[in-house]
Amino acid sequence: MPKATVDRRPPPLFRQGLTPLSKLLLLSALSVLLMVVDTRLQLGAPLRAAVATALTPLQWLALAPIRALQAGSGYLGSLQAAQQEASAARTELTRQVQRAAQVEHLGQENRELRALLGMRERLTVKAHGAEALYDSADPYTRKLVIDRGEAQGIKPGSPVMDGYGVLGQVTRVYPLVSEVTLLTDRDQAIPVLNTRTGQRSVAYGQPRQGLLELRFIAASADLEVGDLLTTSGVDGIYPPGLPVAHIHSITHQGDGGFARVLCQPMARPEHSLQLLVLEPLNDKPLRNPEGSKR
């Protein structure tokens, strides 16, 4: 019987080879050598180009679901925005048509009444065109600066309007610019007239809510949400008949017997750039008498 082959390899305890540290140093040196050769000779560029070409279809397939989702969401968002804009445009057009009809009817009635009472026609108020430059840096007030000043004939107390209604009043005039205090500022007040009932009151600014408030209104007063408020002209500053606000909400106070009436200004200071500065009937700005107590 032949003898088994004798294993002449050394036991594991005595085997010799590279240590882990030696392998690490060797592989690191090889990596550095390959990077230097690739930098100098550009040997890896064709390989990278081939790999990138091979992976391009896979990348396109991986991104296809994301692109499809983005395209779908963009289409739905654009469609919804277009529908909202169309609805807002129809609503605004209807409102403008109704306002034009009401203004024409009221203007005709006023002319007939003045003719019957022998009253002279209202004098034309001189106006200046202006552009809103920027909002005031004071966070506790509601003011903006316009590009017209004393050199252009702007006077303190001048009413300021945009394309929708009364915006505020000029409170400071500089040589080339002026400062306009908005109606929603806490120190502003404006006499108003309810066009439906003829009731007069005073609207005060509410800067936190961006609204106007009618104070000391009896709970039994004839007011409805949506009533149009215009300038009454009793202050001698604002010409009568300028649109100011719509009644936004009416809250009845149970204990005091008064109603808290909040109004939404018709002017849009955040969106209006072109403004109209009217000549004041007098040079005394109307201030909120309670503003200093706040």
In tens, the pLDDT along 119-129 reads 334 435 777 88
Beta-carbon contacts of residue 253 (< 8 Å; ≥ 6 apart): 219, 259, 260
CA dihedral 238, 291, 246, 250 (to 10 degrees): -140
30 plus 164 within the same structural domain: no
In tens, the pLDDT along 128-163 reads 888 888 888 777 788 999 999 999 889 998 999 887
pLDDT at 288 over 60: no
The predicted pLDDT at position 115 comes to 43
The predicted pLDDT at position 213 comes to 93
In a domain, 2, yes or no: no
In tens, the pLDDT along 154-205 reads 999 899 988 788 899 999 999 999 999 999 998 899 999 999 998 999 999 9
Question: What is the average per-residue pLDDT within 31-47?
Answer: 75
Q: Is 268 helix (H, G, I), strand (E, B) or coil?
A: coil
In a domain, 209, yes or no: yes
134 plus 217 within the same structural domain: yes
In a domain, 3, yes or no: no
189 plus 228 within the same structural domain: yes
Question: What is the average per-residue pLDDT within 263-276?
Answer: 85
Residue 39: give the domain boundaries: 21-121
106 plus 133 within the same structural domain: no
Tokens representing 145 are: 């600066």
In a domain, 57, yes or no: yes
CATH number at residue 249: 2.40.10.340
Q: Is 286 helix (H, G, I), strand (E, B) or coil?
A: coil
Of 88, 121, 154, the residue at which a domain comes to its end is 121
62 plus 164 within the same structural domain: no
31 plus 107 within the same structural domain: yes
Of 121, 139, 166, the residue at which a domain comes to its end is 121
